[in-house]
Amino acid sequence: MSRNAALNYLEPLENRTRNVAVLDALAEMVERAGLKIGDRLPPEISLAASLGVGRSTIREALNRWEGLGIIRRRRGDGTYLSARVQTSRGLVPTMIRLEGEALLRLLEIRRTLENDVVRKATLHATKAQRAEIFRLCQMLLVDVDAGRPWRKADHAFHRAIYDASGNPMYGQILENLDHALERSDTSPFNRDGFGLESFPIHRDLAEAIATSDAVAAVDAINRILDTVETEVRTIIGEGLSA
């Protein structure tokens, strides 16, 4: 099927200000048209005309998809699918599902990097760095237990681990990966409650690094990531069977 034939699956939207409706419509177009990874999407101007919205609205929607790694743009060539797009048939909104799937892809990359950085940090950290990592973990858990904002403390804890690995590129790559994944303000993956179940395991990670136990440290970071992955799959309706 040609990329322009995909336009047959779009209809003008009644409410031109509903960006979520645009995103849902594009996802349905991709699915119904049978577009696959590597296929090129119709031009922005054609998408806008078919939906009855401004080109800027389409561009904003595609920017959102690009931030989730769903599409990639080639200057002067067009926009291509780089991830599977499937609309939701249940209670979970399509964009929440797409955000969750993007987060799962990110976690897959993080797991490879985090395993290596945690192992190196455990083996190479100085006595002072081990003490600092443990102290930052304690501060993080105090904030979590008190119900206070915890993201700043969490970043400080993990950054200390990255620094202890002896390779500053780890921290830069991991932080850039997290920032690259665009999530809406109302996303369940942006709420303070997301990921809370993983925090007790942070103590295991800090203790393993403090005692130079690389095997236990790698096990702890994998259990942290397992907990977050399970929560993502539950939110997007995949449960534990995925």
Q: State yes or no: pLDDT of 238 exceeds 80.
A: no
Confidence band (pLDDT; 50, 70, 90) for 12? low
Query: pLDDT tens-digit profile of 104-128?
Result: 999 999 999 999 999 999 999 999 9
Residue 61: burial class (beta carbons within 10 Å; 0-12, 13-18, 19+): buried
Confidence band (pLDDT; 50, 70, 90) for 93? confident
74/66 Cα distance (integer angstroms) = 12
Q: Are strands 78-81 and 71-74 parallel, antiparallel or unpaired?
A: antiparallel
Cβ-Cβ contacts under 8 Å for 188 (sequence gap 6 or more): 96, 194, 235
Query: pLDDT tens-digit profile of 198-221?
Result: 999 999 999 999 999 999 999 999
Two tokens at 69? 């790694």
189/67 Cα distance (integer angstroms) = 15
* List of domains in the chain: 4-81 (1.10.10.10), 94-235 (1.20.120.530)
The model scores a pTM over 0.85? no
